[in-house]
Amino acid sequence: MSDLPRKAVTRTAKLAALPLGFAGRATWGLGKRIGGRSAELVARELQQRTAEQLFKVLGELKGGAMKFGQALSVFESALPEEVAGPYRAALTKLQDAAPPMPTRAVHAVLEERLGAGWRKLFLEFEDKPAAAASIGQVHRAVWHDGREVAVKVQYPGAGEALLSDLTQLSRFARLLGPLIPGMDVKPLIAEMRDRVSEELDYALEAEAQRIHAEEFADDPDVVVPAVVHQSEQVLVTEWMDGVPLAEVIADGTEAQRDRAGQLLARFLFSGPARTGLLHADPHPGNFRLLPGGEDEGPEGWRLGVLDFGTVDRLPGGLPETIGTCLRMTVAGEAETVYELLCAEGFVKESVALDPDAVLEYLLPIIEPAEVEAFSFTRGWIRTQAARIADPRSPAHQLGKRLNLPPSYLLIHRVTLSTIGVLCQLNATVRLRDELAEWLPGFEHPAPA
C-alpha cells in the first residue's frame, strides 16, 4: 500500500548498514592517505560521502529515521566548519522533503478515512505532494467551500516504522554522537520514542493547532492556519504560502534574517504563556516568512507556523525557575542560582558543586540575554559547543555532573534547537525583550 519500508527486517538492515558503511569509508580514507593524498582532502571527501549515505538512508526510510535527521539538522550550526560544510546540504534536504508516497496509496488512505466519496469534499486535489516529511506528506487542494487547503496524509505503517527506527538508532547512538559536539543523542532518541503516540495522533495535533490558531488569530506577527477537518491519519488545514525558513537561511537578506529570528523567538517564548503549549519541533521546515504589503519592508513580515504534532503541555507557561535563574545568573548571584538548581533537581543531592564554578559554566550560555540585541552566529555556537564538548575542559567536567530533570527535557531541547536555527539565520535578535515580556521570573537586567 505504501513505499515506506514497513517490515522491521528491511528497515533494520538499512539502518544497521550505516555503521558498517562508516567503517568502510574510514578504511577507504586510510588507503587514499597511504596512496599519497593529503589528509585534509581525504577527510573532506570522507565526510561528504558519509553525509550523503547517512541522510540518503534517513530520508528514504522516513519514519523515526528521518525525524531523527530533522532533529539533528537544527544543530548543524554547532559543527566545526570543516565538518559542517559537507553535511550542510544533506541536512537541509531533510528539513522540507522526502521521497513521496505513491498516488494509489494516498487515495487508499483518503478513501478509508474520509469515505468512498472523498473527492466530493474537494473542488480540486493535487496528487503530487507539496511536501513530504517524517510520518506523512502534504497535498495542496481546494476544499468544497472554496478555501485553499493543505491535506496531510499519514503514511500507512508510520507508527511501526517510528518505533522500529528509533529502537535501531538507539543501538548505535554513540556513532552518531560526534555529529553534534557536546550533545548526547541517546536521550534525544529516547524522548522521541516516548512521544510516538502523540506524534501519530492527528486529533491531538488538530487540538493543539486550533488552540494556537484561535489565540494568534489577530496577531500582527504570527499566523497559524485554521484546522478545516480532521480524521484518523488525515488532517486538513488552511493553506499557507510564504518563504520557507530554509530559503531565508540560504538566501535571505540581513533584514529578513533578523526579522525571522525575532519572530521565531517571540513565538516560541510567548506560546506557552498564551496557550499553555510549547511548539516542540522548531526546525526550519515548520516555519514560513510571510511578506507584508507592497509598501512594507521586512518589519511588516509575519511568521507562519506549521505542524503542531509535537507540543509540550505547560498549563502554567514556562517554569518560573528558568526566568529567575537567568536573572540571577546575569546579576552574578552564584549562591542563589545554585540553591534554585538544587531545589529543581539540576544538582542531585549526592553531588556537591562550587556555586561560582556553576555560575562561570552558565554565563557564556546566557550571553544573548545580557545585552539589548545579540547576533547569533555559527562561530558563537561552535565556541559554546567546543567549550562543553572538550573532555579536558572544566566546563565539560562540570556539565557531566549536572542533571536534567525529566520535566525540563523537552524545554531544553526546544531551547537548543531554537538557538541552532537562530545561528543558521545569522540573526541579530532582541532576545532580552522577549524574555522580559514572556518568561516568568525574568526582568530586564542592566545592559552589558
Rounded mean pLDDT for each run of 10 residues along the chain, 448 residues in total: 46 50 38 40 48 57 57 62 58 56 92 96 96 83 98 85 71 58 64 75 95 96 97 96 93 95 97 96 90 75 93 92 94 94 92 93 90 94 82 83 86 89 96 95 64
What are the cell numbers at 255? 533584514
Cα atoms in the Cβ-side hemisphere of radius 13 Å centred on 103: 4
Cβ contact 308:222 at 8 Å: no
Q: What amino acid is encoded at 294 in this protein?
A: E
Q: How far apart are CA 138 and CA 149, in angstroms?
A: 10
Q: How far apart are CA 181 and CA 421, in angstroms?
A: 16
Q: How far apart are CA 355 and CA 362, in angstroms?
A: 11
Residue 70 confidence (pLDDT): 60
Residue 5 confidence (pLDDT): 44
Just give the CATH number of 103-158+197-238: 3.30.200.20
Check: pTM over 0.85? Answer yes or no.
no
Sign of CA dihedral 27, 33, 39, 44: negative
With left for phi above 0 and alpha for psi between -120 and 50, is residue 242 left, alpha or beta? Answer: left
Task: Give the β-pairing of 148-154 and 136-143.
Answer: antiparallel
Residue 320 confidence (pLDDT): 94
Per the listing, cell 517564548 goes with 269
Q: 3-state DSSP call for residue 141?
A: strand
What are the cell numbers at 122? 474537494
Residue 98 confidence (pLDDT): 55
Indicate the length of the chain as a whole number.
448
Residue 212 confidence (pLDDT): 98
Residue 92 confidence (pLDDT): 56
Task: Give the β-pairing of 287-290 and 243-244.
Answer: antiparallel
Nearest in space to 238 (alpha carbons), one of 304, 336, 171, 172 = 304
Residue 48 confidence (pLDDT): 52
Residue range(s) of every CATH 3.30.200.20 domain in the chain: 103-158+197-238
**Phi, psi of 228, rounded to the nearest 5 degrees:** -100, -45
- DSSP code of 380? H
Count Cβ atoms below 10 Å from residue 205 Cβ, excluding itself: 22
